[in-house]
Amino acid sequence: MIKLFAFLPLDGSAIIERESILFFICPPFEKQNLLRIEKKVLDKAILRHDFCVADKCFKTWDALISFLDAKVHEARLQQGQNLSEMNLGREIIDCAPPEILNRYLDKIEH
Rounded to whole angstroms, what are the CA distances from 57 to 40, 51, 65, 68, 98?
A: 21, 17, 12, 12, 28
Task: Report how far residue 110's alpha carbon sits from residue 17's, in angstroms, rounded to the nearest whole number.
Answer: 30
pTM of the entire predicted model: 0.69
Rounded to whole angstroms, what are the CA distances from 19 to 2, 16, 99?
A: 8, 10, 22
Q: What's phi and psi for 50, nearest 5 deg?
A: 60, 30
Digitized pLDDT (tens) for each residue of the chain, 110 residues in all: 999 999 988 888 899 999 999 999 988 777 777 889 988 888 888 888 888 899 899 999 999 999 999 998 888 887 776 555 555 556 666 666 777 677 767 767 76
